[in-house]
Amino acid sequence: MNAMTDRTAGSKAYAPGRTLPLRVEIVRQFKRRRTLVMFGVLLALPWILVVAFSLGPGPGQQNSLRLSDLATQGGLNFAAFVLSVSATLLLVVAVALFCGDTVASEASWASLRYLLAAPVPRDRLLRQKLVVALGYSAAAVISLPLMALLAGTVAFGWNDIHLPGSGEMIPASTVLPRFGIVIGYALVNQLVVAALAFLLSVSTDSPLGAVGGAVGLVIVSNILQAVEALGVIREFLPTFWSTAWLDALSPELDWSGMIKGSSLSVTYAAILMALAFRRFRRKDVVS
């Protein structure tokens, strides 16, 4: 076989565009214990909460309008509550895990160098891994509220939603599309975490470092946003708008917080991901 007669310089039938198909990467990641454990936790949490609510005494005051006291009012209320308690940390950890682990763990197993020498072009390797990691993250973010909706409906019935704060009732049929907005915003909002974890994943060989680093920075951002002396700067912290989805459940749908949050999220994510790609292209893979 004379390579020079081939149109490509490589082996017969080698095409860079066919390397590392998404299906292969999905299978490679799916059988990992941490993937299964994370999904197990996310899918079990609503049921654990259902049990917790049914064990405890009923809400002391019928008139309390806090989200946690309204959780047992129906499936939709319950799902909103579950999302509110998990969005700040549990979902962040899940997203950071899927996106932070993906390259760093390959580096730590030394399988990264064989993929690169296969050769899977570096940009393509990152792209495929990013798509799959984002896919798993999205599945995590979507599956939790959906399971909560199911668990809440089974346990507390399919009722109209009871708004926290004002106590107003909104028919369930009206609020269901709003719930789609909530989940959509939660997805966009987690892009920052995903991109940050991905950049760290490319920069380190330690999966724990990448995941922990991303979660740590989110925690630091959370702490900083409580410092009111920072004034308007706080609005530009990546986590500042993380609870803006609550506006989708107010009587009048208020987009402004969610638009700001999405705008920031996309901004950070675009730059962090570009840095990740740029860094990986130039990196010496020594693991």
Partner 1 sequence: MKLAGKRPVALIVATVLVLGAAVWMLWPSPAPVRGLDQRIPVVDGPGDDQRVTLDATFFPPAGGGKAPVVLLAHGFGGSKESVRAEAVRTAEEGYAVLTWSARGFGASTGQIALNSPDYEVKDVRQLIDWVARRPEVLLDSAGDPRLGVAGGSYGGAISLMAAAYDDRVDAIVPQITWYDLADALFPGATGEGPEQGVFKRMWAGLFFSRAVGSPLAPGADALGGLTGGPGGPGEAPPATGSPDPAVQAREVRCGRFLPAICEMYQQVATTGRATPGAVEMLRRSSPISVPGKIRVPALLIQGKQDSLFPLGHADANARAIAATGAPVEVAWFDGGHDGGDGEIDWVADRTIGWFDRWLKKDGTPAGDAFTVTRDGGRDPGTRRPILVHAATARYPGLSGTAQTSVQLTGPDQPVASPPGGSPASISTVPGVGGLLANLGGAGLAMDMPGQSAAFQSAPLTAPLEVTGAPVVKVRVRGKGEVTLFAKLYDMGGQRPALPQGLVAPVRVTASESGTPVSITLPAIDHRFDVGHRLRVVLSTTDMGYASPSAPAVHRVGLASPALTVPTDTSLRAGAPGLAWWTWALPLAALAVSAVLLLLGRTRRTDEAEPELAGVPLQITGLTKRYRNGELAVDDLSFRVEQGQVLGLLGPNGAGKTTTMRMLMGLIHPDAGEIRIFGHQVKPGASVLSRLGSFVEGPGFLPHLSGRENIELYWRATGRARDDAHMQEALEIAALGPALDRAVRTYSQGMRQRLAIAQAMLGLPDLLVLDEPTNGLDPPQIAEMRKVLIRYAAQGRTVIVSSHMLAEVEQTCDHVVVMHRGRLVTAGPVAGLLGGAVSSNGSKGRLEDVFLDLIGDKA
**Interface of this chain with partner 1, residues 118 to 147, rule: CB under 8 A:** 118-124
Quick check: 185 and 266 in contact, CB under 8 A? Answer: no
What is the spatial distance between Cα 18 and Cα 102, in angstroms, rounded to a whole number? Answer: 20
Q: Which of residues 151-180 bind partner 1 (CB under 8 A)?
A: 165-169
The sign one gets for the Cα dihedral 122, 128, 131, 137 is: negative
Q: Report the nearest approach of partner 1 to the CB of residue 140 (Å).
A: 19
Q: Report the nearest approach of partner 1 to the CB of residue 208 (Å).
A: 15
Which span (38-46, 49-57, 178-186, 257-265) binds partner 1, by CB under 8 A? Answer: 257-265
Q: Quick one: 41 or 169, whose CB is closer to partner 1? A: 169
Quick check: 99 and 134 in contact, CB under 8 A? Answer: yes
- For residue 229 the two structure tokens come to 């002396």
Helix ranges (DSSP H) in the chain = 22-30, 33-55, 67-70, 75-86, 90-109, 111-117, 122-156, 172-189, 191-203, 207-224, 256-282
233 binds partner 1 (CB under 8 A): no
- Annotate each residue in 48-87 with x if it binds partner 1 (CB under 8 A) or - if it does not, as one string: -------------x-xxx----------------------
How remote is the C-alpha of 218 from its chain's centroid?
13
Residue 169, SS3 per DSSP: strand
Q: Quick one: 22 or 51, whose CB is closer to partner 1? A: 22
Q: Quick one: 86 or 265, whose CB is closer to partner 1? A: 265
Quick check: 95 and 137 in contact, CB under 8 A? Answer: yes
Residue 228 exposure: Cα atoms within 13 Å on the Cβ side: 0
Which span (18-26, 48-56, 146-154, 179-187) binds partner 1, by CB under 8 A? Answer: 18-26
Q: Quick one: 137 or 242, whose CB is closer to partner 1? A: 242
Quick check: 120 and 219 in contact, CB under 8 A? Answer: no
Q: Quick one: 27 or 44, whose CB is closer to partner 1? A: 27
Answer left, alpha or beta for residue 165, where phi above 0 means left and psi between -120 and 50 means alpha: left
Q: Quick one: 46 or 100, whose CB is closer to partner 1? A: 100
CB proximity list for 218: less than 8 A, separation 6 or greater: 92, 96, 193, 196, 238, 239
Quick check: 65 and 131 in contact, CB under 8 A? Answer: no
Closest CA to 185 of 247, 93, 251: 247
208 binds partner 1 (CB under 8 A): no
Q: Quick one: 167 or 180, whose CB is closer to partner 1? A: 167
Q: Report the nearest approach of partner 1 to the CB of residue 117 (Å).
A: 4
Q: Quick one: 10 or 51, whose CB is closer to partner 1? A: 10
47 binds partner 1 (CB under 8 A): no
19 binds partner 1 (CB under 8 A): yes
285 binds partner 1 (CB under 8 A): yes
Size of the site for partner 1 (CB under 8 A): 87
10 binds partner 1 (CB under 8 A): yes
37 binds partner 1 (CB under 8 A): no
